[in-house]
Chain A
Amino acid sequence: MTDQQWNNLLAIIRGETLDARPSGFVIDCPWLPNWYGVNILDYFSNDEIWLEANLKAIREFPDTLFLPGFWSEFGMCTEPSAFGARCSFPANEFPHAHKVIHSAEEIDSLEVPNPATDGLLPLVLNRLRLAEPKIKAAGHEIRFAVARGPLNIASYLMGSTEFLMAMMMTPDRAHRLMRVITDFLNAWIDLQMKTFPTIDGIFLLDDIIGFIGDTEFRTFGLPYFKELYDKDVSVKFLHNDAPCRVSAPYLPEIGVNLFNMGFEVNLNELKEVTGNRVTMLGNIPPRDVLASATPDEVEQATRALVESLDDPSRVIFSCGGGMPPGVSSENVQAFLRGLK
C-alpha cells in the first residue's frame, strides 16, 4: 500500500468518510497467478514472477487497496511447513500440507518451530526482503505481518475433525497445541515486524473459528487471538469467510478493527453485533458473482450492496472472502463502476 492508501485505510477505520467509496481485496495465490497468466508453481518458485504479478495488480487498479499487499506465501503450506509437514505442490493447483500429528498424544512432543530457520518461512521472508527495494520504488510499503490463525494451523497439523474432537475429548492437549502454535505465531509475527519496520498491521486468516460454538470459541479461540493481536500496531485484520455469527461479537474484545467475512452474512447485522467498531471488508459473493457473473451482473450486485447499507461508514467494498480464482479484470472494473 502507498502512504496515501494506508492513511485512507486508517481514516476509514477511525470512522471517517472518504470522497470516493473505498474498495479493497485480499489477493494471493488463488487469484494472482491465473490472472497474471502463469501457472501456480511458477508463481511460487520464481520470485520475479511473484513480484511482477503483484506489481501488475497495483498498476492496473491503483485506487484499490490490495491486502495485505505483496503477500509472500506458499498457500496453505506456509506455516505447517515450519512444523515439518509434507507439502504438496501440484503444478497448477493449490498447494496443501499433510498432517504431522496422528494422535492427540503426539501433541505432547510437538516443539515450537523457529520461524527464522524452519520450513518455508525463511524463503517467505527473504523473498520479501529482496523485493522490498522494488516495492518501495513502486511507491508501496510492506504494511502487514501475515499468518494463518492458530485454529487453522491446528487443523492442518492434526486434521480438522481430529482437532475439533480433541477440543472436546482431550481439552488439555488441545490447549497445549494452541499454546505451541500461539508461541510460534507470536515469534513469526515479531520476526516479520523486526525485519520490516514499515509493518503497522497484523493480518490473521482463520476459517476454523467459523465451525465452533460459543463455549469452544471462548475456550480455544478468544484467549489465543487476544494474545496474538495484543501488539502495538494500527491495523488488526482478521479473515474468516466461514460462518461468523458466534465469533463476530467478540471482534472488538480481541482488538480486531478490520474484518473480511464470508458472503452469507449481512453487513448491517455484522455492524450491529460489533457496535460499528470494526471496519468491514466485504461482501459480494466471490465465486458465484465476482468470478462467474457477467460484468453487468457484478456491477448490479455491487450497487445493491452499496444501497443495502444502513450506514456506509467503516465499510471497504470487497468480496466476502479472498479474491477467488478466475476473476477477470473486466469484473474487477465492473465492481469498481458499481461503487461510483
Chain B
Amino acid sequence: MSELMDKICLCIERGKVDKKAPYPPDMMNQDGADEYAREAIKAGESPDNILAACNTAMERIGDKFSRNEVFVPELLMAARAMNGVMEHLKPFFQAGNIKTKGTFVLGTVAGDLHDIGKNLVSMVVEGNGWKVVDLGVDVKTDKFLKAIEEHPGCAVGLSALLTTTMANMAATVKRIKELHADTVVIVGGAPLSHKAAKEMGADGYAANPQETVRILNSLVG
C-alpha cells in the first residue's frame, strides 16, 4: 500500500474524519480521511485502491471490536470516516469506473426500535463494498417495498430483537416474497435462527455482520 493509502486506512481505523474533527484527541489538527482521500485522487491513485484501503481499515477495526479492544462509538467513527472517503469516490461510482457489489436495503422491522446490532451490520457490509440503504427502525412493510422498487436487484436485510416483532418480520418477508419473489431476504437479530428464517420464507439468516457479508458476497459470485 502506498503511503497515502496507509494514511487513509489509519484515519478510517482511528475514526479521524477530517482535519477539524476533535476525535480522536491525539490526532487533533491533523489531516483526516477526507483530506487524504482528496489528495489521493488528485495524485491519480486508482479508486479501486482507495476502496481497498477502506475495506482493510474496516476489517481492522472490526477485528478490534470482536476482541473488545474498541466499542460501538469507535466503530461508528470509523464508518463516518469511511463515508467521507466514499463521498470522494462517488463520481467514479457514477461513471461506472468502480462498482459496488450491490445494494443492501436494511431496517429494523415494525414495532421494534433496537438498532445497535443492525447498525453494526450496516457498517461492516458497507465497509465490504456494498451500498447500504438504511431505513432505520420501526420500518413498516410498505417502506421496505418502496425501497425495493427504488433499488432494483437489491438484497434486503431485516432485523428484529423482540420475539413479538418477529411476527411483523414474518409478515414483511411474506409480502416482499409475494411481490418480489426474486429479491433475496436475509434476516437477523438475537431471537432469530436458521429455523425461524426458513419458516418465515427468508432466504438466509446471519448471526453477525461477518456472516451477513459472506451470504451477500455469495450472491454476486
Residues of A within 8 A of B (CB): 76, 88, 90, 93-94, 96, 159-161, 164-165, 167-171, 211-213, 216, 245-246, 287, 291, 324-326
Contact = CB atoms under 8 A, between A and B. Distances in A.
Contacts of A88: 138
A94 B72 contact: no
Interface of B: 15, 17, 21-23, 68, 70-74, 76-77, 80, 111, 113, 115-116, 119, 138, 162-165, 190-191
A213 B76 contact: no
B113 A212 contact: no
A94 B111 contact: yes
A246 B191 CA distance: 25
A160 B73 CA distance: 10
Contacts of A287: 163, 190-191
A164 B73 contact: yes
In the complex, the 4 A-B pairs of residues with the closest C-beta atoms, listed nearest first:
A213-B71, A168-B23, A211-B72, A93-B111
Contacts of B73: 164-165, 167-168, 211-213, 216
Given A160-B116, A213-B71, 16 more contacts: A76-B113, A93-B165, A96-B111, A160-B119, A164-B72, A165-B77, A168-B15, A168-B22, A168-B23, A168-B77, A169-B17, A213-B74, A287-B190, A287-B191, A291-B163, A325-B164
Given A216-B71, A287-B191, A326-B163, A171 B22 contact: yes
Contact of A90 (B72, B111, B116): B111
A245 B113 CA distance: 24
A324 B164 CA distance: 11
A216 to B, nearest CB: 6
A161 B113 contact: no
A169 B119 contact: no
